Chain A
Amino acid sequence: QKEVEQNSGPLSVPEGAIASLNCTYSDRGSQSFFWYRQYSGKSPELIMFIYSNGDKEDGRFTAQLNKASQYVSLLIRDSQPSDSATYLCAVNRGANNLFFGTGTRLTVIP
């Protein structure tokens, strides 16, 4: 079983819709959770992090964490074509490294 699992997609949503990206992790001791966005040919950039159960909102982005279900999600409201990218879920288990999922490719259709 992989440490972090994501649907590889591609996920296509129309412009203005809500995009929902999901991630599960295997280690119950995981402490912090991250979403990175990676445009084609570029390096990942951090867009959200969350530590506690519940929702965390930042602009059009909402991260949701459910530790009991070992589940993290990212909602993107009012999706824009510029949101088209690969979204990587990452998990920190307390040591100084992150475990990444393989990413979900999102396409926002104008």
Chain B
Amino acid sequence: KAGVTQTPRYLIKTRGQQVTLSCSPISGHRSVSWYQQTPGQGLQFLFEYFSETQRNKGNFPGRFSGRQFSNSRSEMNVSTLELGDSALYLCASSPPDRVGLGYTFGSGTRLTVV
């Protein structure tokens, strides 16, 4: 069964630009979560979507947003990019209402802001 697919794998953007990242969860998984991973801060929770609704949000500025489509695919958008947004962005999916059993992560999108 296909895993969690994230596109693109790598991105280089300039400060001030915006970026959209995509995530397709495992078939049948309706919960999609996004995390930012940096060497200093580790994995930090951005937001979680379930049935096209944002259920949970981390402590990130409003420049970070997301959405989920009816087929459970999710996108996250970062506007007005800053150098500090350079990170690995990970998407994770889990079966409906079973985060308690742990996520499956995608391979991530490595974003570099120059």
Residues of A within 8 A of B (CB): 31-32, 34, 36, 42-46, 49, 51, 88, 90, 92, 95-103
**B16: which A residues are within 8 A, CB to CB?**
none
Which of A42, A44, A45, A49 meets B101, CB within 8 Å? A49
Expressed in whole angstroms, the Cα–Cα distance for A46 and B90 within the complex equals: 14
Interface size on B, residues (CB 8 A): 25
**A92: which B residues are within 8 A, CB to CB?**
99-100
Expressed in whole angstroms, the Cα–Cα distance for A88 and B42 within the complex equals: 9
Query: Are B106's CB and A43's CB within 8 A?
Result: yes
Residues of B within 8 A of A (CB): 31, 33, 35, 41-45, 48, 50, 55-56, 58, 90, 97, 99-108
Best-buried of A44, A51, A92, A97 by chain B (most CB within 10 Å): A97
Beyond the given A51-B100, A90-B102, please list 11 additional residue pairs across the A-B interface where CB-CB is below 8 A.
Answer: A32-B100, A46-B104, A49-B101, A90-B43, A92-B100, A97-B33, A97-B45, A98-B103, A99-B45, A100-B44, A103-B42
Which of B42, B55, B107 meets A100, CB within 8 Å? B42
Expressed in whole angstroms, the Cα–Cα distance for A51 and B99 within the complex equals: 13
**A96: which B residues are within 8 A, CB to CB?**
31, 33, 48, 50, 55-56, 97, 99
Expressed in whole angstroms, the Cα–Cα distance for A96 and B102 within the complex equals: 10
Query: Are B42's CB and A102's CB within 8 A?
Result: yes
Best-buried of B41, B43, B106 by chain A (most CB within 10 Å): B43
Expressed in whole angstroms, the Cα–Cα distance for A75 and B15 within the complex equals: 44
**B45: which A residues are within 8 A, CB to CB?**
97-99
Query: Are A97's CB and B58's CB within 8 A?
Result: yes
**A34: which B residues are within 8 A, CB to CB?**
102
Closest residue of chain B to A51 (Cβ to Cβ) is B100
Query: Are B43's CB and A43's CB within 8 A?
Result: no
